[in-house]
């Protein structure tokens, strides 16, 4: 589905998933590794990624783990959009 038909919330969720999977990939981090940091199962993380469904706590955990700069955080959170 082209981005023009997605809601703002859907675009932000897709953006978060793309960023998360990219950060995991460049660090050669497996889902099981990230799941352990989050205190959940690998299957639970897989479903969150598949469904683009993240809680505020999940997002804070991602930011604590990968330490994005303020520009990246603003982009991911849709500031000035």
- Give the tens place of pLDDT for each residue, 6-55: 899 999 999 999 999 999 999 999 999 999 999 999 999 999 999 999 99
Is residue 70, in this structure, part of any structural domain at all?
A: no
Flag whether pLDDT at 70 surpasses 80: yes
Task: Locate 33 and state its tokens.
Answer: 């590794």
Is residue 79, in this structure, part of any structural domain at all?
A: no
- Split into its structural domains, the chain has a count of 1
Q: How many CB atoms lie within 10 A of CB 74?
A: 13
Flag whether pLDDT at 1 surpasses 60: no
The pLDDT of residue 5 is 87
Is residue 11, in this structure, part of any structural domain at all?
A: yes
The pLDDT of residue 39 is 98
Is residue 21, in this structure, part of any structural domain at all?
A: yes
Owning domain of residue 42: 3-64
pTM for the predicted model, two decimal places = 0.88
- CA 16 – CA 24 distance, rounded (Å): 12
Is residue 25, in this structure, part of any structural domain at all?
A: yes
């Amino acid at each position: 589905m082209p981005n023009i038909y997605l809601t703002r919330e859907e675009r932000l969720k897709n953006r978060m998933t793309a960023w998360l999977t990219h950060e995991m990939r460049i660090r050669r981090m497996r889902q099981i590794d990230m799941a352990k940091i989050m205190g959940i199962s690998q299957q639970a993380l897989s479903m969150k990624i598949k469904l683009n469904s993240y809680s505020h706590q999940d997002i804070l955990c991602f930011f604590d783990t990968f330490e994005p700069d303020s520009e990246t955080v603003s982009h991911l959170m849709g500031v000035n959009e």
